[in-house]
A and B are shown apart, each in its own frame.
Chain A
Amino acid sequence: MSALLELDRVNKDYRIGGFLDSSILHAVKNVSFTLSAEKPEIFTIVGESGSGKTTTARMILGNETPTSGTLRFMGQDIAGIRSRADRLKFMAKAQPIFQNPFEAFNPLTTLDYYLYSTARRFLGIKDRGGVEAATDKALNHVGLSLAEVRGRYSHELSGGQLQRIAVARALIPGPRLIVADEPVSMVDASLRMSIVNLFRELRDTLGVSIIYITHDLSTAYYISDRVIIMHRGDVVEAGDAQSVLGNPQHEYSRALSGAVLPPDPEEARQIIERRMAGAV
């Protein structure tokens, strides 16, 4: 079995503070996991702010280099990518989805500019017709068409639509891996499910593996195959999503899963009443 992505004892330290009182922050500690190349999956990293989940994502995308340990993507050391040509080759296979769809597109640039640029650069298509065909095909995968997007600016579309366009853009070069950092936390509830369902479809129909990074356990449970829970840089629990989230073992995972409010007034009310009796 060959690996699509392999993290081997990855560490990332930051030096924080000034000249005199600097200290070391261990943002990511000894993280190891492997995504198989044969079987696409949705792999979820759950954690709160400061857990190291975003740093891990940035290292996978090559935006940060690890302090120690290696990250290998399709056999290649990600930190070793130097030249622009190699970098483009890597980016064609590993693409990001960002947190805030309104921030991910420049408000003063039309959305199609991002799509065309991706098609030109990664697919090497020169003529306008070819670029548009490739763009339209990618947009079709997310339930949109070029006619709806051409010439539009980000403020003309909803967060959910923008996020789908972002996914379509990421799909253009034909990636094997998509790293999505909190992709639904800024998207309205009525549109959230359309993004989450889209990830499932990408996995099943296009065979794209997805690293889904979130603090929301409910959507993590809803779409993940496997999950790791991170806490202050450590992976505290890892495994199959149903068992890790449905029946957490580690103390922190249990606290996290206990903090999720159920979508039912009676149950939720009982939890709050218990807290009121206990805490205050």
Chain B
Amino acid sequence: MNADVLKVEGLKAYYQMNYFGVRREVRAVDDVSLTIRRNEIYGIAGESSSGKSSLIKTIAGAITPPLRVVDGSVKFDFDGRTLDVYAEPQAMKGARWQNLSYIMQGSMNVLNPVRKVKHAFHDFAFKHMGLSERDFWAKVEQHLQRIGLDPRVLESYPHQLSGGMRQRLTIALATVCEPDFIIADEPTTALDVLVQQDVLALIKDVQRRMGASIIFVTHDMTVHAAIADRIGIVYAGRLVEEGPTLDVFRRPQHPYTAHLIGSLPRIGDSRKRSALPGKPPNLADPPSGCRFHPRCPLAIDKCKTDNPALLPRQTGRVACWRAGEVEAA
């Protein structure tokens, strides 16, 4: 069995639009290569419109025009069965939910407000599990108990449950088929601060017990610190750094990562933290060379013209001409 569950190679996905003669191309995912191993949580960090949502949409094969895959491939490996998302979309359909599932940001988007929770389980999971009705419900109840939910929630409507419980339910829903791969898109962002840790602990616990892989997307670096095994930092549609969480936090190699981590405020420390100058790049008209160079404190002439490749360095990979000289701020 292959150690990698997902292999993305040279992936390019652009938004291509044409409004009354104004043609626009937004390079939301620009030449991204990454692999995700079995039984790991891979965090994707990036700011709004950095292309991180487009990246996971593309990985999930859930893109709709104007977003199009221009180049590259996304291959899953489920139990030794290789699935090329963009070469064989039909096979992908069968793998949905059974091998590949999602935990989304707003739990209300998943749960129909006017139907009981049990219908959601039936709709999403029943036909994938190949069980009789009785065995199916037995399995669901067992699964809910494992997740710390009373099986009686099946008989309630979403609005009768608290936000934390609803998010637990969406996690239960995403994991009931014991998928190999889960895409978690900002699952804690809309939650109250008080339940955030519980939900993270639950995701980690379920992941560990099932041995699944999770690609976990959030802009919140503290969430990555708490849960991700490895992190990939996305800037302007490109992966600029990747590595084990601890190493990335302790010894960031890319100046952007160094800034993200250095500027995190902390209770008990009110020393002044600097802000990054400039503004996030416009993906329709990105800067030449390294896309970070207009905001980079270490930029040299080479950065303005040549795009650094993502190269292995120490325990991870980094795309920076001056990677060796970056110190955590």
Could you tell me which A residues sit within 8 Å of B by CB distance?
48-49, 157-161, 188-194, 196-197, 215, 217-219, 221-223, 242, 245-246, 255-257, 259-266, 268-269, 271-272, 275-276, 279-280
Q: Are A194 and B222 in contact (CB under 8 A)?
A: no
Q: Are A280 and B148 in contact (CB under 8 A)?
A: yes
Instruction: Report the minimum CB–CB distance from A196 to chain B (whole Å).
Output: 8
B198 near A: Cβ within 8 Å?
Answer: yes
Give bound CA distance, A259 to B202, whole Å: 15
Q: Mostly helix, strand, loop or mixed at chain A's interface? A: helix
B200 near A: Cβ within 8 Å?
Answer: yes
> Which residue of B is nearest A252, CB measured?
B194
B129 near A: Cβ within 8 Å?
Answer: no
> Which residue of A is nearest B231, CB measured?
A265
Q: Are B225 and A263 in contact (CB under 8 A)?
A: yes
Which A-B residue pairs are the 8 nearest by beta carbons? A194-B275, A275-B201, A158-B279, A268-B226, A263-B264, A188-B47, A261-B222, A193-B275
Q: Are A265 and B263 in contact (CB under 8 A)?
A: no
**Which of B10-18, B60-68, B117-125, B266-274 interfaces with chain A?**
B266-274
Which residues of A are found within 8 Å of B266, using beta-carbon distances?
Answer: 218, 221, 262-263
Q: Are A221 and B279 in contact (CB under 8 A)?
A: no
Instruction: Report the minimum CB–CB distance from A270 to chain B (whole Å).
Output: 9
Which residues of B are found within 8 Å of A271, using beta-carbon distances?
Answer: 197, 226
Q: Are B201 and A189 in contact (CB under 8 A)?
A: no
Q: Are A280 and B193 in contact (CB under 8 A)?
A: no
Per-residue 0/1 for B258-286: is the Cβ within 8 Å of any A Cβ (1 yes, 0 no)? 01110111111110111110011000000
Instruction: Report the minimum CB–CB distance from A202 to chain B (whole Å).
Output: 15
Instruction: Report the minimum CB–CB distance from B246 to chain A (whole Å).
Output: 5
Q: Are A266 and B267 in contact (CB under 8 A)?
A: no
B205 near A: Cβ within 8 Å?
Answer: yes
Could you tell me which B residues sit within 8 Å of A by CB distance?
47-48, 147-148, 192-194, 196-198, 200-202, 204-205, 219-223, 225-227, 245-246, 249-250, 256, 259-261, 263-270, 272-276, 279-280, 295
Q: Are B279 and A268 in contact (CB under 8 A)?
A: no
Instruction: Report the minimum CB–CB distance from A227 to chain B (whole Å).
Output: 12
Q: Are B192 and A265 in contact (CB under 8 A)?
A: no
> Which residue of B is nearest A50, CB measured?
B192
> Which residue of A is nearest B206, CB measured?
A280
Which residues of B are found within 8 Å of A259, using beta-carbon distances?
Answer: 193-194, 196-197
Q: Are B205 and A276 in contact (CB under 8 A)?
A: yes
15 residue pairs of the A-B complex, CB under 8 angstroms, read A190-B259, A190-B276, A192-B263, A193-B274, A196-B265, A215-B193, A221-B265, A221-B268, A246-B267, A259-B193, A260-B222, A261-B226, A265-B249, A271-B226, A276-B201
Q: Which of B194, B261, B268, B272 is close to A255, meaning CB atoms less than 8 Å apart? A: B194
Given A190-B47, A190-B276, A263-B264, check contact A48 B192 (CB 8 Å): yes
Give bound CA distance, A22 to B265, whole Å: 43
Give bound CA distance, A246 to B267, whole Å: 7
Q: Are B226 and A269 in contact (CB under 8 A)?
A: yes
> Which residue of A is nearest B208, CB measured?
A276
Q: Are A256 and B267 in contact (CB under 8 A)?
A: no
Specify which of A161, A215, A257, A260 lies most central, judged by the most chain B CB atoms within 10 Å of its CB. A260
Q: Are A197 and B265 in contact (CB under 8 A)?
A: no
Which residues of A are found within 8 Å of B280, using beta-carbon distances?
Answer: 158, 188, 190-191
Q: Are A261 and B260 in contact (CB under 8 A)?
A: no
Given A49-B192, A266-B246, A272-B226, check contact A218 B259 (CB 8 Å): no
| Given A188-B48, A255-B194, 6 other A-B residues pairs in contact with their CB atoms under 8 A | A218-B267, A221-B266, A259-B197, A260-B222, A268-B225, A275-B201
Instruction: Report the minimum CB–CB distance from B234 to chain A (whole Å).
Output: 12
Give bound CA distance, A223 to B222, whole Å: 19
Which residues of A are found within 8 Å of B194, using beta-carbon distances?
Answer: 48, 255-256, 259
Give bound CA distance, A19 to B48, whole Å: 43
Q: Which of A192, A196, A246, A265 is close to B225, meaning CB atoms less than 8 Å apart? A: A265
Instruction: Report the minimum CB–CB distance from B258 to chain A (whole Å).
Output: 11
Give bound CA distance, A276 to B147, whole Å: 11
Give bound CA distance, A255 to B276, whole Å: 32
Q: Are B219 and A188 in contact (CB under 8 A)?
A: yes
Which residues of B are found within 8 Å of A222, using beta-carbon distances?
Answer: 265, 270, 273
Give bound CA distance, A91 to B148, whole Å: 51
Instruction: Report the minimum CB–CB distance from B192 to chain A (whole Å).
Output: 5
Q: Which of B226, B276, B279, B295 is close to A161, meaning CB atoms less than 8 Å apart? A: B279
Q: Are B197 and A217 in contact (CB under 8 A)?
A: no
Which residues of A are found within 8 Å of B295, using beta-carbon distances?
Answer: 190
Q: Are A261 and B201 in contact (CB under 8 A)?
A: no
Specify which of B219, B265, B276 lies most central, judged by the most chain A CB atoms within 10 Å of its CB. B265
Q: Are A190 and B263 in contact (CB under 8 A)?
A: yes
Give bound CA distance, A213 to B193, whole Å: 15
Which residues of A are found within 8 Å of B260, using beta-carbon distances?
Answer: 189-190
Instruction: Report the minimum CB–CB distance from A170 to chain B (whole Å).
Output: 19
Give bound CA distance, A275 to B147, whole Å: 13
Give bound CA distance, A192 to B220, whole Å: 12
Q: Are B200 and A272 in contact (CB under 8 A)?
A: yes
Q: Which of A189, A193, A266, A272 is close to B227, meaning CB atoms less than 8 Å apart? A: A272
